[in-house]
Each structure stands twice: as structure tokens, then as C-alpha cells.
Amino acid sequence: MINKAIFVGSFQKLNQCPESALTEFAFIGRSNVGKSSLINMLCKVKNLALTSSTPGKTQLINYFLINDTFHLVDLPGYGYARVSKTQRQKWHKHTMEYVTTRTNLAVLFILIDATIPPQQIDIEFINRMGESRVPFVLIYTKTDKINQRESSKNIALFEDKLKEKWEELPISFKSSAKKGLGHKEILTFISETLKETA
């Protein structure tokens, strides 16, 4: 379904992002959750988005043009301990500005690591997005890393946490960048959304 993927550029803040009316789908989550790997998996290009085993490195907003028709946006991760307070505040300002005011942002994909129990920072971020009315969808990542029973348990615990605040659970997908899991489901969701916004 994706037959052309081009790296557009990296930008520090919203007012530097491309002046484009194309629909955007952005990816966010804790550093190292697998944002860049997922983008590569969806595009079937190995090093389109730079992945890293060193968390907290990408502090820029990376744009990819897909099929000449829409943008995928790799956002800087949150929650990495080894960044300075000033850097964190910068992240907060630029990212919050992007997600809350970018008018052509159709969906924010919030990635959650399915291999670990619920993290407060993810719950807080999701709650904030809900309060700010940012349209989001969850993607549970790295499901290949542990057995299915374990990942299902982590996901169920995560959903319990969400239910403490929200009556309805958001749409969610399971993925593995390593095994290609979620490829079809996520791309189908994107193309359905594109049809709705057209």
C-alpha cells in the first residue's frame, strides 16, 4: 500500500515544519518504544527513519512524504531520564505545540511498549492528549519480544489504568516491527482516515 516513501527533513519546531496542506499522521511515545522502527516497517524501508539503541537521541520532528499524498511524522520521544531539564522543557513546548495546534494532523499514534507493565508517564501523556482533544490511537509495540500471554496481560493492565479516567477505550493496534505485525491493520486505518478527511 505504501509504494513511495521519501524523507522530507528534520525540524526543531512547529513554525519550521513544511507549509503543506497534506494530511499528517504522527508517532509519539517514550524514547526507545519503537517509533522509528514502526515507521520503517510500515514503509518497508529499512533505514528511512533512523532507529537507535541509544534512547533520547532524536530531538527533532522528522517528516516523511508517503505516496506523494500524506505525511508520516516521527516526533521526539518523551520520558528519557538522561536529558537535561531545559531539553525536556523544550521538548514539551515544541511537541505540545505541534500536537495541539497542527491543523492537518489527522491522528496521533501513541506507542506503548507491550513488553513492560503500565508506565505512569504514558498514562499521563494520554490523559493530557484526551483533555486537549487531540485525536489519538494507541499502538502496542514489540509484541514479538515476549509471549502473547505476557503482552496481553500488560495491555489489559494498561487498559485498566485508562479506564480509571476514560469511559471508552481508544482504538488500539498491536505491532511488531521485527515481524511486520500490524502492518496491514495500521495502513488500512490510515487509508480509511484519508478517505474521511478527503
Ligand X SMILES: Nc1nc2c(ncn2[C@@H]2O[C@H](COP(=O)(O)OP(=O)(O)O)[C@@H](O)[C@H]2O)c(=O)[nH]1
| Least distance to ligand X, CB of residue 154, Å | 14
Which of Mg ion, ligand X, none sits in contact with 150, Cβ below 5 to 8 A by type? none
When asked if residue 36 is in the footprint of Mg ion (CB under 5 A), the reply is yes
Q: How far apart are CA 106 and CA 117, in angstroms?
A: 29
| Least distance to ligand X, CB of residue 144, Å | 5
Q: Which is nearer to Mg ion, 34 or 182 (CB)?
A: 34
When asked if residue 58 is in the footprint of Mg ion (CB under 5 A), the reply is yes
| Least distance to ligand X, CB of residue 183, Å | 11
SS3 letters across 124-150: HHHHHHHHCCCCEEEEEECCCCCCHHH
Do 11 and 60 touch, CB atoms closer than 8 A?
Answer: yes
Q: Which is nearer to ligand X, 30 or 65 (CB)?
A: 30
- Interacting residues with ligand X (CB under 6 A): 29, 31-37, 51-53, 55, 77, 141-142, 144-145, 176-178
Q: For 17, left (φ over 0), alpha (ψ -120 to 50), or beta?
A: beta
Cell readout for 26 is 504522527
Sheet holding 5-11, edge to edge: 5-11, 61-66, 70-74, 23-29, 105-113, 136-141, 172-174
Q: Which is nearer to Mg ion, 49 or 162 (CB)?
A: 49
Q: How far apart are CA 141 and CA 182, in angstroms?
A: 9
Stretch that binds Mg ion, among 16-24, 53-61, 163-171, 181-189 (CB under 5 A): 53-61
| Least distance to ligand X, CB of residue 22, Å | 22
Residue 21 neighbours by CB distance under 10 Å: 7
Q: Which is nearer to ligand X, 35 or 70 (CB)?
A: 35
When asked if residue 143 is in the footprint of Mg ion (CB under 5 A), the reply is no
| Least distance to ligand X, CB of residue 94, Å | 17
Q: Which is nearer to ligand X, 46 or 165 (CB)?
A: 46
Phi, psi for 109 (deg, rounded to 5): -90, 120
Reduced to 3 states (helix: H, G, I; strand: E, B; else coil), residue 35 is: helix
Binding residues (CB under 5 A) for Mg ion: these are: 35-36, 58
